[in-house]
Structure 1
Amino acid sequence: MKKHSRPVVWDAQELPTDGITVKNNQISFTKEGTFHVRAKTGEVFSDWYEVTALPARKLTTITIPEMLTVDYKLEHTVNLAALQVSYKDQYGADWTPVPALTWSCADEGVSIDENGVLTIPSVGTYTVTAEGGGIASNTMTITVIDSTTKVTVFTPEAKTLSSSGGSVEFTITGVYLPDTGILIQANDSIKAMTTGTATEQKATLTFPANDTENDQPYTVTNSLDSRTAAVTVAKKYSGGSSSGGGGGGGGGGTAKPAYMITVENTKNGEVVSSHKTADKGDTVTLTATPDKGYAVRRIIVTDSSDQKLTLTEKDGKYTFTMPSSNVTVKTTFIMDKSKDEVPNPFADVSASSYYYNAVQWAVKNGTTGGTSATTFSPDAPCSRAQAVTFLWRAAGSPAPSSTEMPFADVPTDAYYYNAVLWAVENGITGGTSTTTFSPDAPCSRGQIVAFLWRSKQSPMVAAENPFMDVNAADYYHDAVLWAAENGITGGTGANTFSPDAPCTRAQIVTFLYRALHK
């Protein structure tokens, strides 16, 4: 049987009446929509087929990496142009040609050049976006760490041993401590390697007995930095004799030494210790009594290695835990007439609170008033606008030289307008960006000590940094060390300063009071 074939011809039912063309078996669309077509051969027709013409492709999504971690120890720049970027149309298909990207970051201190190279100012977190072809990308968070090994504390469990010697555990705290350990040693025969984590490691050294009539000091070093720790093995003590019936022999022994508490003489007040000597672990209470017209400026207690001990203040008394060494107490009193000359109008400011003198001074000098006629709200957060205003008023409310405000969020009728201008002129603050001051944002601990330090012409500091959360690259690094060294504020813990924690009104007037009376 001979087979015959007939050509197939496509026909169109136009729904709507335009937008589709069927010619020479080719279907073309001039706009999006739903259409129906059928095939026929001779007088035989197929069923109608629904054809949907989708909208024309266009770029709708630019996706950049959501997270990126950079080690400041290794690099201070990021080549954004080298990152993997995805371009998609509305159907999820890859889009070409790829548009040129413009990268942006609003964080203070960050710069991006025309080649897309971002320069990192310091350790921290930064937010980056890109734009191309009128399409904005998602947000990328760049987290900058610093893996530089750093020791913050190197301390022995005990600093004095009896003449029989013994073992002492040493603790090294820091960041990125090596997992291979740290060598600590007193000499070639007394040494050990630490073990532990990246933030804390320990090792134990055993010191021999001392049979001499003089104390035997040891200086213990660590292989990471120049910090040392001192341990002393006491000289041999003579034992007392005892007698017993039948010619019993005398017995020898060693006396456990108590550690001395030396309270240095000071002017304009008196400090009395609850103990003259104490054993390790005893609680010692210091009572400070200022002369009339004076107040306690600061009390510092140091051990035999000149390390500061932690003091707890309550109701005018200061307590500390006795270490295994002698301690020295140094006290400074400052002139203060606020209690005698200014009545306290605030029901929420107790005479026993640590900020009482500071609040009285601030009110007397017009630095700040209360939040009402009878309240100061000492625990309320202090904004950046309030902080610079307090500082400006304490400086005598000087008129700024310029009237050109660089910040769009500081209106001309704001109470803090002149204070912000003055602070910018004097290099006390540069704002949170080139065009914003963020006046209503809480003032952090790092920001307020930086303001105070800059107002003092940024004095040089030589103190070692005890705080694990304050890095050398941080803008507030020197300010924090200056504040701690001068008793303006200490840390929130033995090794922490909490620079990002918000400050209260009581804290800021107290810091300001201490800074101006140092």
Structure 2
Amino acid sequence: MPETTVVTANTEYEWKFTTNDSANYEEITGIIILWEKVASSGGSGGGGGSSSSTTVSNKGDSTVADTSSGNITESKAEQIIEKAEKNDSDEIVIDSSKDKVTLPTGMIEEIAEKTDADLVIETKNGSVTIPHDVLEKLETEGKVTITVTEDGVTITDENGEVILDDVEEPVPVEPETPAEPEEQFFQDVKADDWFAPAVQYVYENGMMSGVDEDNFGPTWHTTRGMITTIIWRMEGKPEAGQTMTFKDVPADMYYADAIAWAAENGIVSGYDAVTFAPDDLITREQLAAILYRYEQYNGGGFEGMWMFLLDHSDRADISEYAYEAMCWCVMNGIMSGNDNGTLNPQGHAQRAHAAQMLMKFMENAAE
């Protein structure tokens, strides 16, 4: 904004960062709220405040919007949808530090009309995916608020009215009465779910635990730090012999020792020499690559001439570094394609998918 702009406390203002190096950097816009700071009772007044922002970027097949306030403005909604259209995104991910996200009037309809993307809402209470066909059925009026709690997901209009009445299967929520409680480890994993055997396997073998005492969080996404920690635990938590170079991995974080060991042994690598991005959502091809490198670490993997073409329509979307790993995982039954004949290598791996691949990996190792 111009230097002469007069601003008001508790009011949203848009900001834009424009780069002269468009080949390497994207234009970024956001929202900032200047909060009035009230002097404390001790008399030590002073200026200052806090801010809230929203940034939008493309990551693989996803358009990701990070918002600290939980509110998406109309202009930001336009930018999100424009990026999703341009990127032909499979997912629009809105990541909020709050327990809910508020979308402006017409955003859901615009997503349904202009894209083929599912809507993923990530909050401090967990993640939920609203499929595109559900978005097409939703009838909204005014702003829409999506709230994620321990009991499930609620979508309401600006008057607080629930707007899921006309949707046959709106959003997967935990069943009130588990079908077979005596056989369930978690309330959100039913005995007939395709991933139930894998969840039981990784839980019983200490590879993965629940997101809380009662829930596994099968639709929650996994991160690079989480998967690296699982591999490290599988190996018996060995110590690294060298000092880690990644500047974004604090030594006191749960994944620090795991990343140091895995990087030293070539099982994981960073985006560059100093950046690992442990909290980035892990893609399916990244997960395949880590599992394959762990297999190679233990003396396995392809030998000699192994190259072959994968029989999947999106094989061209696989990054060069991950192609060998994807081939090995497919050939050994660790990864299978979707019903539409795709592998979705750039899609994010949910906890259910990670559990399935880990179980298949261990079964393959035992053969």
- What TM-score results when the alignment is normalised by the length of structure 1? 0.33
Flag the structure with more relative contact order, 1 or 2, with Cα contacts below 8 A and sequence separation at least 6.
Answer: 2
TM-score normalised to structure 2 length: 0.46
Which structure has greater helix proportion? 2
Bigger radius of gyration: 1
> Which structure is higher in strand share?
1
